[in-house]
Amino acid sequence: MVFYDLCQLCFSNRNFFLDDDYIGNTYIIRGSQLVSTPPAEAFDAAVRLLVNATANCPAENSSRRFGTGEEDFDNKSRIYALAQCTPDKTADVCRTCLTTIAYQLPTYFGGFNGGGIFGAWCSFRYELDPFFSGRPLLQLPAFVWTPPPPPPAPALPAITSQDKSRNKTGMVLLAILIPSTIAAMLAISVICLWIRRRRSAAQSVRLYTTSSDGIQGADELLLDLSVLRVAT
């Protein structure tokens, strides 16, 4: 396949006129640079809008099966597009062919500054610089980028009757356990205070012990018998 900006030449050793696969016999050319103006999603959306609008021209023009278009982007640059079908194809076949290959835009050309898909029956191309002669057949107004809305916040789980009964059961248990715990703590405090007072009272009692000096030994009470006899 040999292709230029405004025409292409296909030749093969088989009869490709019978092919009805619009994707199988295609060639893809993609730009070597990514767009420098963020966001890339805005540029991709502008390209899809221009390519789809330009693809309607060949389908509606039975004499030429050819269309060009341009679109202002970011107030600084323009996007140019071209779409065409072979003249022997009907309007429905031309539209189906261009719609099929244009559907591949997000897959192969996301964020790239140019590219195109060239098939046996139809082709399209877009660039940031003019690549065709003459005034574009279609001129779109300046593209306005509208960011997609943020995803909705996740919904809170609904409270079922079973959850309510569990909450009530938990509240009843708390109402029972809290007073019981307080009463047990008070009882323990009273017992500890009573034991402490008993110990203090026992330590304050004065202990009296008998001294060994007040008791005479048995040997001191025994007198020598000879001494008693002399005394008597």
Length of the chain: 232
Claim: this prediction has a pTM higher than 0.85:
no
Lowest mean pLDDT segment, chosen from 5-9, 89-93, 125-129: 5-9
| Spatial distance between the Cα atoms of 34 and 44, rounded to a whole number of angstroms | 11
Instruction: Write the pLDDT tens digit of every residue in 160-174.
Output: 655 555 655 656 555
> Strand locations in the chain, DSSP E?
2-3, 8-9, 26-30, 66-73, 77-85, 115-119, 122-127, 138-140
Give the confidence band of 128 by pLDDT, cuts at 50, 70, 90.
very high
Query: In sequence order, what DSSP letters do the residues of 29-61 get, joined into one string?
Result: EE-SSB-SSS-HHHHHHHHHHHHHHHHHHHHH-
Output phi, psi for 109, to 5 deg.
-125, 20
Mean pLDDT of 136-141: 91
Q: Which residues contact 142 (CB under 8 A, 6 or more apart)?
A: 71, 72, 73, 75
Element (H, E) at 226: helix 225-231
Look at the block and give the residue holding tokens 């092919």: 19
Per-residue pLDDT, 8? 73
Output the CA–CA distances (angstroms, integers) from residue 137 to 7, 13, 82, 133, in the order listed: 17, 36, 10, 11
Per-residue pLDDT, 18? 65
Three-class SS of residue 71? strand
The token duo for 158 is 């609904």
Nearest to residue 122, comparing CAs of 58, 79, 166? 58
Per-residue pLDDT, 77? 86
Give the confidence band of 87 by pLDDT, cuts at 50, 70, 90.
confident
Give the confidence band of 210 by pLDDT, cuts at 50, 70, 90.
very low
The residue type at 34: L
Three-class SS of residue 3? strand
| Spatial distance between the Cα atoms of 142 and 71, rounded to a whole number of angstroms | 6
- Whether 213 has a pLDDT exceeding 80, the answer reads no
- Whether 88 has a pLDDT exceeding 80, the answer reads yes
Q: Quick one: how many helices (H) and strands (E) in the chain?
A: 6, 8
Give the confidence band of 206 by pLDDT, cuts at 50, 70, 90.
very low
